[in-house]
Amino acid sequence: MTQLWDFSGGIHPAENKHLSTSRPITDAGLPEVLVLPLQQHIGEPAEACVAVDDRVLKGQKVADVTGGMGVPVHAPTSGTIESVSLQPVPHPSGMSDWCITLKPDGKDEWAPLNPVTNYRDLDRETVLERIRDAGISGMGGAGFPTNIKLRPPRDRKVNTLILNGAECEPYITADDMSMRENAGEIIAGLRIMAWVLRPERVVIGIEDNKPEAISALRKAAEGTQTEIAVIPTKYPSGGEKQLIQILTGMEVPSGGIPADIGVMCQNVGTAIAVSAAIHRGEPLISRVTTVTGDAVTDPGNFEVLIGTPIDYLLAQAGPTQNKLHRLVLGGPMMGYTLETPAVPVVKTTNCVIAATATELPDPAPEQPCIRCSMCAEACPMELLPQQLFWYSKSGELDKAEHLNLFDCIECGACSYVCPSSIPLVQYYRAAKGEIRVQQAEQLKADRARERFEARQARLEREQQEKEQRRKERAKAAAEAQAKKQAEAEKAEAEGQPADDRAAKATLVQEALARKKAKAQQQAETKAGASETSTSSEPTPDIDALEKQLAQATAKLNTMQSMLEDARAENADNVEKLERAVTKNHDRVKRAEEALAEARLSVAATDTQPTDS
């Protein structure tokens, strides 16, 4: 007999499960249109890989995640793509998201499948890739991609694999009926996951209020090493962390995951999907969903194609419109009210409750907290709901986070027992959302700062390297000059020329001096002539000046191009080229000024009156 432990808190709400277990799982049929949201799981949204008017086959991939964490979406039947557009999706906010609309053709024609005769002949990575290609994500919670969950970090060996069949939330019986009718398929999928993980222990946890399912699983598990652990009925024993504590006595650390303590949980529906993907090659295109509540005349569980509109599904259960007061997606504890039934069934849709006003009345007005501590007694995570409520309401989010706000599993037990009708879980969800937004903004700011600091460090490093090269060149030039001077002095002392280069340098200096003196003499002569007779000034040569300006500009462009190349190659002659560019800038400027003055002079001459 399996040893069991207990967890703190918990409640015992009315189960109301009998409403939907009186008949077998029924095929919901084929609606007129199927709406396939591109994001049905945690991670990146898929991108459509089909276009409008394309004909697709049943099981054909219509969208996939090209980068990041995610799984593809498949066509639940054959038909034609009508649109890829924004449409309402099941979400507490009532928002719209990108969806593919498929018009079935009624032929239900399958795409080619690739079943596996013996998965043990494959390597584990191939099996995990097949699970991903089948579009399988967790079907009992937030929809975490199954292939990623089955690949824990190398340093975290999974010793215990748990299949969660507790299904503790009121009204929901999808897993119960699946275990009754598809126990063999569940065990087959569980064995595949156990083969991938190689745990020491495999156990199915199931509440004692499901005797038919318990019997079916025990029969299907005969001859295997799988334990069937029957646990007491208490909400939320089906929570991942609570079920782990019940079956192992260990607690998942705050902020951690089950793999941190060597445990992994999977859902009953996920096991069925894994078996279908490996043994038959079928992708995840349908699931079992409970339709229940006093506002339907024929409640039950339906095998529903992914993308089926909720209003179509309700019609299969015989809704009584004049009784329908509230439509809830999920259970009464963790689900949310739908504003419209025009949203599709997705991979995580396990229940739809069509409730009357008596069954699920409008919540009572919120009253002040009376500090009764009933919420703390009911909390299965041993948190401080009252204190978290005050911090969340007042916007003291750092304090709420410090009190482990993110350990809250949003089970609703605190709200259920609150005598003041305070919607505690709604406050916690809002606070979590605000914290996530702040963290995302902070992360963005941190990355921007890191990029700026890296750029500044790079620029400083380049400047230091440039300065170091300049100093090295200056040092080398000084050493060469000193050496040259020393040789000249030595030669002079010995009465001999240092070398031909020194002699040539002397001649060059003398020639430059003579040229400078001649230019100065010519300038003085020209100035004297100008003073004696201004009327004899020659007319400026505009063409020559324009040619000089063009030559100077072309040379400047050439020097600038050479400078840019030198900078790109980090050459040693950068400073020399910079001086040359500056010098050529001055030449261009002088040429422009000379041309402008010449043009003014010519214009003045043309307008001067002549003697008659």
| pLDDT the model gives residue 511 | 72
570-579: per-residue pLDDT in tens? 777 778 888 8
Confidence of residue 533 (pLDDT cuts 50, 70, 90): very low
Residue 612 has pLDDT above 90, yes or no: no
For the chain, give the mean pLDDT: 90
Task: Please provide the CATH number assigned to the domain covering 367-499.
Answer: 1.10.1060
In 174-309, at which residue ranges do the beta strands (DSSP E only) sit?
A: 201-207, 226-231, 263-267, 286-292, 300-305
Relative to beta strand 160-164, strand 226-231 is unpaired
**Nearest residue to 378 (alpha-carbon basis) of 11, 13, 12, 15:** 11
Q: Predicted confidence band at 564 (pLDDT cuts at 50, 70, 90)?
A: confident
DSSP letter for each residue of 42-98: SSSPPEE-S-TT-EE-BT-EEEE-SSSS---EE-SSSEEEEEEEEEE-S-TT--EEE
Q: For 432-485, how does the pLDDT look when each residue is reduced to its tens digit (9 = 90+)?
A: 999 999 999 999 999 999 999 999 999 999 999 999 999 999 998 888 888 888
**Rounded mean pLDDT, 502-513:** 66
pLDDT at 491 over 80: no
pLDDT of residue 536: 44
Q: Which of 14-28, 61-75, 498-512 has the lowest mean pLDDT?
A: 498-512
State the pairing for strand pair 263-267/226-231. Answer: unpaired
Peptide bond before residue 236 is cis, with ω within 30 degrees of 0: yes
**What are the residue ranges of helices labelled H in 199-319?**
211-220, 240-248, 268-275, 310-316
Q: pLDDT band at 507, cuts 50/70/90?
A: low
pLDDT at 502: 56
Predicted pLDDT of residue 281: 96
Confidence of residue 118 (pLDDT cuts 50, 70, 90): very high
Q: Is residue 419 very low, low, confident or very high in pLDDT (cuts 50, 70, 90)?
A: very high
List the chain domain ranges.
Answer: 18-355, 367-499, 541-603
CA dist., res. 577 & res. 324, Å (int): 84
Mean pLDDT value across residues 67-89: 94
Please measure the distance between the N-terminal and C-terminal CA atoms of the chain and give it in whole angstroms. 135
pLDDT of residue 480: 87
% of the chain at pLDDT higher than 70: 93
Task: Check residues 368 and 599 and name the one with the higher pLDDT.
Answer: 368
Domain spanning 18-355, CATH architecture: 3-Layer(aba) Sandwich (3.40)
Q: What's the pLDDT tens digit per position in 176-203?
A: 999 999 999 999 999 999 999 999 999 9
Q: Determine the average pLDDT of the residues in 282-294.
A: 97
Taken in order 270, 109, 133, 95, is the CA torsion positive or negative?
negative
pLDDT at 179: 98
pLDDT cut 90: percent of the chain above it:
70
pLDDT exceeds 90 at position 568 = no
In a 3-state reduction of DSSP, which class is residue 428?
helix
For residues 602, 603, 608, 612, the Cα torsion angle rounded to the nearest 10 degrees is 70
Would you state the pLDDT for residue 59? 96
Cα–Cα nearest to 285, from 141, 113, 102, 74: 74
CB atoms within 10 A of CB 488: 15
Q: How confident is the model at residue 585, as a pLDDT?
A: 85
pLDDT at 528 over 70: no
pLDDT reading at 535 higher than 50: no
- Higher-scoring residue by pLDDT: 548, 251: 251
Q: What is the pLDDT of residue 590?
A: 87
Q: What is the CB-side half-sphere exposure of residue 35 using CA atoms within 13 A?
A: 19
| Contact yes or no for 329/174 (Cβ under 8 A) | no
Q: What is the maximal distance between C-alpha atoms in the chain?
A: 135
Structure tokens of 145? 């991609």
Query: How confident is residue 173, by pLDDT bands cut at 50, 70 and 90?
Result: very high
**pLDDT over 80 at 301, yes or no:** yes
Contact between 324 and 286 (Cβ < 8 Å): no
> What is the Cα–Cα distance from 150 to 441, expressed in whole angstroms?
31
Cβ(364)–Cβ(421) under 8 Å?
Answer: yes
Does the pLDDT at position 508 exceed 70?
no
Its pTM stands at: 0.74
